Amino acid sequence: MSSKKKINKKDIGKLLSRWSQQFTVLAPSMESGVATMAEWDGKDTSFLDWYRNTVIPPKANFFPPMEEMFSFQKDREGYHIELPLVNEHKQLIFGIRPCDAKALAILDMTFEEAYEDPYYLAKRNSAVLVGLGCTNPYDSCFCTSLGISPAESTDVDLMLTDIGDQFLIEEVTDKGKELIAKTSGLKEATETDEARAKEAKETSHNKVTRKINTEGIEDKLLACFDDEDYWEKIAAKCISCGICTFLCPTCYCFDINDELVKQQGARFRSWDSCAFPLYTKMPMENPRLEKWRRVRQRVCHKFEFYPMTFNVIACTGCGRCIRLCPVNWDITRVLESLPVKV
């Protein structure tokens, strides 16, 4: 029932400029060959040609690789703590993919439901997500196996679909509806536009060819949880680096470190990874000393433990962990090769 709008592709620059007055607009940006969501420079819309997905997932815009939690000074009276300035500017992320938007919804479960993380929520609650449907998914993408469409999303505020020279704009949330109401220069979409969008969505859906079978996955994983030989074999080539976890849009582990130099310092939090042998070494020993236990943890956390807690698989099939893995360790191959049939 929501009315649909459209915009010419060549007018995207104008649209982003307009939104820039109200928001810090983040858009796909390529720097030194690395695609990220970065502050839009005010003119460049060339990303519409090259953008498939970012290397650094948009979680980094809410849960950055490192952030200062507070700074402190020490004097005779003790410590004086200063909280960081809250950036009053609201973020508008333009072009987020449905998989990554879903990932933020999954992160919300940890950072909002399980406990309230003020650093994450300060950025997250004020943000507007403008989704952009995929037209050219990677061969490593498998979102459709996880109930996600590469061109549709309920986790964004507005959703854009490529219909040739134009984008169809759909309002997904009230926030999105409000934004559209305040945005001038959009045209009403026709029935033909909507039909085209529907077709475009189906086309991109069919372009995702990598599949996994998630039916009964929790039970399957539970059944082979203790199969040490299997996990050892699967883990053999893993090099225990942090790529798959750091660049996973749903991984949220972090480490906290203090730095004190000459009576002043700060507390930082930064990404941590269950793939690291030293993970959780700070408070205690790492219970997963052997590599196969760490590899099992990553698989099971996403496909067994997270579903047990939040009733959702903590994987959105974005494929980053497959594309970027130094040894081509492929989670879809692993899930397909589990040594049990349930």
Partner 1 sequence: MRQGTEWEPKLVGFLCKWCSYAGADLAGTSRKKYPANIRIIKVPCSGRVDPLFILKALRLGFDGVLVSGCHPGECHYQTGNYRARRRVAITKKFLEYVGIEPQRVQASWVSASEGGKFTEVVAEVTKGLKEIGPNQLFSQERQGDGTKAT
Partner 2 sequence: MEQRLRNEAKALLEQGKVDWIIGFESGSLKFATTPLITKDKNDADRLVINPFMVNNLANFLTEVKGRVGIVAKGCDSRSIVSLMQDNKVAREDVVILGVPCRGIIDLSKVERLVGKERDELDDITREGDKVAIKVDGEKKEFLATEALFDNCLACEFPTPQEYDILLGEPSTSVVNKPAAQEKIEKLKEMTPEQRWEFWKNEFSRCIRCYACRNVCPACFCQRCFVEETEPQWVLPVPRWQDNLIFQIVRNIHVAGRCTDCGECERVCPVNIPLRSLTKEMYDLVDELFHYKAGMDKEAAPLLIAYEYAEAEDLFR
Which residues of this protein are in contact with partner 1, per CB under 8 A? 24, 26, 29, 31, 36-39, 56, 60-61, 64-68, 87, 89, 91, 261, 266, 270-271
Q: What length does the chain have?
A: 342
Q: Are strands 166-171 and 5-8 parallel, antiparallel or unpaired?
A: antiparallel
Out of partner 1, partner 2, none, what residue 53 binds, judged by CB under 5 to 8 A for its kind, is none
CA dihedral 213, 202, 186, 8 (to 10 degrees): 110
What are the Cα distances from residue 40, in Å, to 28, 50, 175?
8, 15, 21
Q: Considering the complex, what minimum distance in angstroms separates the CB of residue 70 from partner 2?
A: 14
The answer to whether 37 touches 5, Cβ cutoff 8 Å, is no
Binding mask 302-341 for partner 2 (x = CB under 8 A): --------------------xxx-xxxxx-xx--------
Among 34, 86, 195, 308, binds partner 2 (CB under 8 A): 34
Residues 189-248 that bind partner 2 (CB under 8 A): 236-237, 239-243, 246-247
Q: Which does 37 bind (CB under 5 to 8 A by kind): partner 2, partner 1, none?
A: partner 1
Q: Report, in Å, the least distance between residue 172 CB and partner 2.
A: 29
Task: Quote the least distance from Cβ 157 to partner 2, whole Å.
Answer: 28
Q: Which of residues 61-80 bind partner 2 (CB under 8 A)?
A: 65-66
Would you give the DSSP letter of residue 132?
Answer: E
Q: Where are the beta strands (DSSP E) in the chain?
A: 5-8, 24-31, 34-39, 66-75, 78-82, 91-96, 128-132, 158-162, 166-171, 187-188, 254-261, 264-271
> How do beta strands 66-75 and 34-39 pair?
unpaired
Give the interface with partner 2 as residue ranges (CB under 8 A). Answer: 31-34, 52, 55-56, 65-66, 136, 138-140, 236-237, 239-243, 246-247, 255, 257, 259, 268, 270-273, 276, 278, 281-282, 322-324, 326-330, 332-333
